[in-house]
Homo-oligomer: A and B are copies of this chain.
Amino acid sequence: MHHEFHHPVSRMKSEDRRELILESATGVFGQFGYYGATTDQIAKAAGVSQPYVVRMFGTKERLFIEVIERALAFILMTFRAVLAEGHHDLQHRFGSAYVEMLRQRGLLLSLMHSFVLGGDPVVGARAREGFLEVYAFLRHEAGFGPEEAQQFLEGGMLLNTLVGLRMSEEFETSPLANELLCTALPHKLDLLLELGEAQRLGT
């Protein structure tokens, strides 16, 4: 009768919980940024207690670093997979893959938040390094030239910004926003709007 579990999910291997928390953290950091996110929000999102989150990663800072490291690894892995499918039309195929990554809640936005904290001695350093890893990939593995690589990054940064801004919320209300989104996301708009919908329900 007594002694039942006081939490629904019960125990689980450390590695699994870890992954679960990292995913939740990615979402929360993506929405509020490094400073804005709280370990408690992350814990709630993962369905665990706040001290447990801290316990598992040591500090909020280390957790954030792990989040952006994981995000970076995911991006590179994805791009390498695209590359393995052929070297034709890479700009477009990378672009599509990049947009698809929006499905991973907060992944691109967590990175974006880290990018604007370049002044931080630890976060900033890792962010620069990560950005350069992507650039190195484009230049050396994908075979892009400097201008081509730059162009790709430009598009990526605008996309990140539009997502961060939640510009899709104005899709119906502002003709300008509509035009901007249609120009920036040729043929991938449906995904963005779908995600925007999910966002509205979830928040």
A residues lining the B interface (CB < 8 Å): 31-36, 109, 112-113, 115-119, 124, 127-128, 131-132, 135-136, 139, 146-147, 149-151, 153-155, 157-158, 160-161, 163-167, 169-170, 174, 176-177, 179-180, 183-184, 199, 203
- Are the CB atoms of B115 and A165 closer together than 8 Å? yes
- Are the CB atoms of A166 and B119 closer together than 8 Å? yes
- Are the CB atoms of B169 and A117 closer together than 8 Å? no
In angstroms, Cα B139 to Cα A30, docked, is 30
Residues of B within 8 A of A176 (CB): 132, 135-136, 139
Q: How many copies does the complex hold?
A: 2
State how many angstroms separate the Cβ of A136 from the closest Cβ of chain B.
Answer: 6
In angstroms, Cα B94 to Cα A32, docked, is 31
In angstroms, Cα B139 to Cα A175, docked, is 12
Provide 6 A-B residue pairs closer than 8 Å at the C-beta atoms, listed in order of the A residue. A118-B164, A124-B166, A127-B165, A131-B165, A131-B167, A150-B158
In angstroms, Cα B119 to Cα A167, docked, is 10
Among B139, B150, B153, B170, the residue within 8 A (CB) of A132 is: B170
In angstroms, Cα B154 to Cα A87, docked, is 25
